[in-house]
Chains A and B, each alone.
Chain A
Amino acid sequence: MPAEKDEAKEPRARPRLIIFMASFLVSHSTLFSVVCCIAGLIALLLLPILAKSTYISENALMPGSANPVFSGQDVSEASRLVKDITETQKMGKTTGIEIQRLIIQRMADVGAEVYYHKFQSQSNQFHPFRFFSCDSNSAVTESNSNTSNGLNTVGIIRAPRGDGKEAIVLVTPYNSEYVKLNDALSLGLGFSIFSHLSRVSWLAKDILWLAADSRYGEYSSVSAWLKDYHNPVFFSSENVDANVTHDKDFLNMENKNMLNGRNVDVFKRAGTMAAAMVFKVGEAMERDPRDILTIYAEASNGQMPNLDLINVVHYLAVHRQGFRVNIGKLASLVNSAWLNLVGQILEWLGNLAKNLNPKWNFGISSADYAEGAATVASSMYHQALGVPTGSHGAFRDYQVDAITFSFSSRFYLNNENMQSSFILRGGRLIEGVIRSVNNLLEKFHQSFFLYMMTAPNKFVSVGVYMIGFALLALPLPVVAASLFLNHKATGFTGTEEAKIAFGSWQWLYAAKTVLMIDLWALIASLMPYFISQIPNISPTESTLLWVALSVSILAVLYVILGSPYSHSAQIGALLIVPMCLVVRPLKKHMQGALILRALSLVCNLVMVVIGFPPAALLLMKGFSEGFEGVGIGAVWEVAEFLWVWNSATYLYVFLVHLPCWVLCIHILLHP
């Protein structure tokens, strides 16, 4: 050690501060890790207080600077379309494409370029992972007989004086098999905005309106369209012919693919997408004095749209159109007793600080705290799960900022007057957002991409929430260092270990264990793909098969590679903080006080049970939904779910968490 050398040379000289601090931390590693873990937890609990108010940081946006001109005339367009759709519905002609044909006719009437986009929805399958990107290679999907077809309708308004390099996308998902009033209203809203925009003179970006046929799910239709949008298929005669014949079968119409002298099967494009908005009309919600706008922003794997986009929508909705903005929160947490207790403590502390010094004004009421905590928890949950909260997630895979917002009226929308005032305000909001985004000169880049919301107008940026995580993770290297030093100190006194240490190849054994377990984890994580190939298998059977196979492979690997040396294996297993910090070999702790021993044992066992991902999942499900309905099959379903959505959580669980857990077991059983 350099410190020792220094002391040897100049016995009186004090060791350098950083070395002194490091050795102090290592020697008090237990205390240090306890303090850090508690501080980290407190930092996480304080997030709702540390949240800042949102602000629009891109100058070019200028939301609300122009008066909306969306008028009653546009609303009447919407009402007409809604009426037509409901009548078509009543006549029972919804065999296939009546609604689509209606929409495309209307779009063509306002002078837009229109086309049908036919797509095949992907069945739930384990497919190769795609992270943060689309796979251009799988653009040509094999035409399985069991895939189901959907038909999107797309209209493009070219900006009259724009350069055609950028576009804004509007998406209205609707179920084409049975169009409910909500869906009809959102189509009406979408169309009225579209027709309004075809008449305005200020467009600098093209407008794309995608009426997404979401009978097989909103996400799949939007992502299929986006994939085709971004992967142009260059001319190949076979494909075209095949498509045309297929279309004719599907659309059930001969020579009708021409509309106003234009082929409506040709895929047309506008420029790169500046932003996308998915909007729909939700169910009526009474109990609230104002109409509600719910914003969904989380895309796959914790990606978020730029905060400015949310800010613009929030600003226009609240300050111009008088909506109440909601964002997702874990409703069960709002009323939870202990969260309220924490809130009350913080409120009391805030008041105390205020009494001491009126300038210290950081307290918030306990109700606000509970709201904020529930919202941030939901934000964290959705980002960690890695599954998008709506079809806007498909856009984020192409680096397009997108959000979904759903309007809910405070009245039932059967009344025509209610409908029109509702559509008027919704239309003005969307027009305002489009005009604001239209002002953009560059991609969204000014505001945050990594943040969590604590309220519609409050956020925690990455710089703040990382503090808590850093504090939680900090003990790991310190404890590892202290373990390493302790081992070194004891290694030379022991006889058997000294021999191994002498050869200085001891790390190889540990490395071998870690490698072996990681290898096993990789195999275990890929196994579902092969299991899913077995036909007619229930989730429970799949799970059991999966577990059995995994365990047997682990055993085989153990036998092959032999029982490895494992004390410093903990260095590899840093990521699961409490589990790794508590775990001790069972036999080593047999000496010492009985209570301590028992405590340690209990802690270890509890951690081991909780740390096993399937067990943790089942426990969580049990607590939230009751233990009756929980079966082992749930594990399979969740794994499939995560895989289908390309969630990085799946990789984390199987490539990091599970090996760590196995290593901990390994340490527990260490002789």
Chain B
Amino acid sequence: MARPSQVAIDNFISFTGSTEVAAIQKLECPVLNSGSCDCTPRTSMVRPWILLLLLLLAISPPSHSSTVHNNNWAVLVCTSRFWFNYRHMANTLSLYRTVKRLGIPDERIILMLADDMACNARNSYPAQVFNNENHMLNLYGDNVEVDYRGYEVTVENFLRVLTGRHETAVPRSKRLLSDEGSHILVYMTGHGGDEFLKFQDNEELQSHDLADAVKQMKEKHRFKELLIMVDTCQAATLFSQLQSPGVLAIGSSKKGENSYSHHLDSDIGVSVVDRFTYYTLAFFEKLNMYSNASLSSLFNSYDSHLLMSTASYREDLYRRPLSEVPVTNFFGSVMKTFHTDFAYTGFSMEPEAHISLVSETDSRRTLGSENAQTEAANHNAKDNCPFHAWLKVLEDKLDNENAEKLVLYGLGSMVLLLAISTLLSV
């Protein structure tokens, strides 16, 4: 999940923690900056603070932003079938190609295609799908994994994917296995209207359904940040009901506006791409996964004259300023990562301490010192394991006592327990 080359830090801007955390940072930072290995006695001074913090965290409601962004998912949905909706499949496949190129691996992309245009008898280029009349790029190449296809693309399945409430038989490859560190891109295209999106020409996803699913995801810690991108008529109405924090949404058109196709391929005889998607792709074609373009530059790249509709986005639920969020946070798998040398990430407290560590040292760190750094972190990691911490506290408490006495007391109490239990069983 973490690329070795991208050792980086998570920023604390979005962290909503209390002042205690800040205090910890202040306390810890100088200590850890020393980079010495024998820091255990000093860190033990911090223990009570950590315990206190743990207590606080246990009491306070769970907060998504307490986790770092550590993985990326994409759910790409083409909701319409029929030959004349060729462009919707081409839209989705183009986005699929783009996010894959920018680094989201196939197993983290849920691709839903409602129809198979490549094998449609009307397709004059069998087994190929193009999004441009120059036919330079076959989107339906060798390496396309479609997770849900044809009649599997339903509102029910879509909501199941989002909320993770699958039947047991559904394989892992068809599930969105995101966690509270995930950035998820949800891209949908099809025919829609005021507060709905048609699926398969026979059912609709309503804005309330979408908002409800997102809320469930939020409560189940299934994402850290979510970008919903919709290319359909009156797309902006689809996310009017959202109310979960951390969600950013952009649609191709405002209420009352249509979204239009970009151009017609007169060889294939259908429109091959929609305007909004076309200009989105035009933006991404200039980028690679190391690019630093921000979401705001993407959002500002939409020209309503070219789109023939007004791309509108909703950011009131989103906390970070768009100009500071790289697009690769959603469209790629580029994230600020850090080394974790312990196997379990179950404890949400741990990364923060380390992050602060790395964040401070990052600028000064050299390649040569990396090993030492890692070792230090390793050592800390052992100490910081909660069970070890408790054990340590216990050990400290018992330090002065006679160990044998403890054993004797222990044996005595066990005999007593045995006697009572036999008495009870008789």
Footprint of B on A, CB under 8 Å? 59-60, 62, 65-67, 159-163, 200-204, 435, 438-439, 441
Contact = CB atoms under 8 A, between A and B. Distances in A.
Contact of A66 (B119, B120, B126, B267): B267
B259 to A, nearest CB: 15
Contacts of B122: 202-204, 438-439
A60 B83 contact: yes
A62 B270 contact: yes
A201 B269 contact: no
A660 to B, nearest CB: 50
Contact of B123 (A60, A202, A435): A202
5 contacts: A161-B119, A161-B121, A202-B121, A202-B124, A204-B121
* Main secondary structure on A side of the interface with B: loop
B118 to A, nearest CB: 11
A200 B124 contact: yes
A300 B123 CA distance: 37
B394 to A, nearest CB: 73
Given A65-B269, A67-B267, A439-B269, 16 more contacts: A65-B264, A65-B271, A66-B267, A66-B268, A159-B121, A161-B119, A162-B121, A163-B121, A200-B124, A201-B124, A201-B126, A203-B121, A204-B120, A204-B122, A439-B83, A441-B82
Interface string B84-109: 10000000000000000000000000
Interface string B119-162: 11111101000000000000000000000000000000000000
Contacts of B271: 65
B425 interface: no
Interface residues of B, number: 17
Contacts of B267: 66-67
Nearest to B119: A161
Contacts of A200: 124
A196 B193 CA distance: 41
B317 to A, nearest CB: 36
Contacts, number: 46
B19 interface: no
Contacts of A201: 124, 126
A163 B119 CA distance: 12
B135 to A, nearest CB: 14
Contacts of B18: none
Nearest to B82: A441
Contacts of A67: 266-267
Given A161-B121, A162-B121, A439-B122, A202 B269 contact: yes
Contact of A65 (B120, B123, B126, B270): B270
Contacts of A160: 121
A160 B120 CA distance: 11
A62 B271 CA distance: 10
Contacts of B84: 59-60, 62, 439
A60 B266 CA distance: 15
A319 to B, nearest CB: 14
Contacts of B119: 161
Nearest to A442: B82
A63 to B, nearest CB: 10
Q: Nearest 3 pairs between A and B by C-beta?
A: A66-B269, A204-B121, A161-B121
Contacts of B121: 159-163, 202-204
A601 B210 CA distance: 77
Interface in B385-415: none
A658 B184 CA distance: 78
B117 to A, nearest CB: 12
Contacts of A204: 120-122
B129 to A, nearest CB: 15
A35 B418 CA distance: 112
Contacts of B126: 161, 201
Contacts of B82: 60, 441
A159 B270 CA distance: 19
Interface string B253-271: 0000000000010111111
A186 B86 CA distance: 35
A439 B83 CA distance: 7
A142 B123 CA distance: 48
Contacts of A202: 121-124, 269
Contacts of A435: 269
Contacts of B270: 62, 65
A475 to B, nearest CB: 46
A316 to B, nearest CB: 13
B293 to A, nearest CB: 35
A66 B122 CA distance: 11
Contacts of A59: 84
Contacts of B83: 60, 439, 441
A557 B123 CA distance: 70
A441 B119 CA distance: 15
A60 B85 CA distance: 9
A67 B267 CA distance: 6
B124 to A, nearest CB: 4
Contacts of B268: 66
A7 to B, nearest CB: 53
A66 B123 contact: no
A65 B266 contact: yes
Contacts of B123: 202
A62 B264 CA distance: 11
A60 B201 CA distance: 13
Nearest to A441: B82
Contacts of A66: 266-269
A376 B215 CA distance: 60
B342 to A, nearest CB: 56
B303 to A, nearest CB: 26
Max count, chain B CB within 10 A of own CB: residue among A62, A163, A203: A62
A455 B268 CA distance: 32
Nearest to A68: B266
Max count, chain B CB within 10 A of own CB: residue among A66, A161, A163, A204: A66
Contacts of B124: 200-202
B269 A62 contact: yes
A5 to B, nearest CB: 52
A65 B269 CA distance: 5
A39 B227 CA distance: 62
A439 to B, nearest CB: 6
A158 to B, nearest CB: 11
B269 to A, nearest CB: 3
A348 to B, nearest CB: 41
Nearest to B125: A201
Contacts of B269: 62, 65-66, 202, 435, 439
Contacts of A62: 84, 269-270
Contacts of A159: 121
A162 to B, nearest CB: 4
A200 to B, nearest CB: 7
Contacts of A439: 83-84, 122, 269
Nearest to A440: B83
A211 B104 CA distance: 58
A637 to B, nearest CB: 50
B265 to A, nearest CB: 8
B424 to A, nearest CB: 77
Nearest to A160: B121
Interface in B270-324: 270-271
A415 B110 CA distance: 63
A62 B162 CA distance: 35
Nearest to B85: A59
Interface string B314-349: 000000000000000000000000000000000000
A129 to B, nearest CB: 41
A441 B200 CA distance: 14
A175 B67 CA distance: 84
Max count, chain B CB within 10 A of own CB: residue among A163, A201, A202, A438: A202
Contacts of A163: 121
A438 B83 CA distance: 11
A525 to B, nearest CB: 49
A65 B270 CA distance: 6
Contacts of B264: 65
